[in-house]
Amino acid sequence: MAGVTPSLETLRVLVVEDQPYMRTLVVQTLERLGVRHVHEAEEGGAALKMTVRLRPDIVFCDIHMEPVDGLEYLTKLRAFKNVEIAGTPVVFLTADAQEGTVVSSKKGKVNGYIVKPTSAKVLKSNINRLLGPVIP
């Protein structure tokens, strides 16, 4: 949806998280905010396939996952020849606040970095910051 601000009814979000409890928590938080189209992946390989197929408006992604971690997912995503896919906004949602990880994320052109635990307010502000005023 390049150049077009999605509405809350059409917003597509992909949550990439290997821990089922945390993934469910983020999905439920997004649903409480009114997001109707929330998709889930357990690791970066599956997330990459889903990103190509579903074309999410934004991705919230953990970093430490196997077999494909969040940094590798981001690198592969940014390398796509299709600029719309390559430019998909990605916000890392991780417990890792180490400087080296943050620097690597910035080099990979991540669009945001949230340290867990998070809140509905933080998720909402990242969506609105990257996509425009989507969630009131």
CATH (domain of 31)? 3.40.50.2300
Domain membership of residue 33 (yes or no) is yes
pTM, two decimal places: 0.95
Domain membership of residue 19 (yes or no) is yes
Averaged pLDDT for residues 48-70: 97
Instruction: Provide the number of structural domains found in the chain.
Output: 1
Domain membership of residue 102 (yes or no) is yes
pLDDT at 104: 92
- Among residues 49, 86, 79, 46, the alpha carbon closest in space to that of 62 is found at 46
Averaged pLDDT for residues 12-23: 97
Domain membership of residue 130 (yes or no) is no
Give residue 78's domain range.
12-125
Q: With a cut of 90, say whether residue 18 has pLDDT above it.
A: yes
Domain membership of residue 57 (yes or no) is yes
Q: How confident is the model at residue 9 (pLDDT cuts 50, 70, 90)?
A: confident
Domain membership of residue 74 (yes or no) is yes
Domain membership of residue 2 (yes or no) is no
pLDDT at 1: 43
pLDDT at 8: 87
Domain membership of residue 58 (yes or no) is yes
47, 73 in Cβ contact below 8 A? Answer: yes
Compare 80 and 4 and report the one with higher pLDDT.
Answer: 80
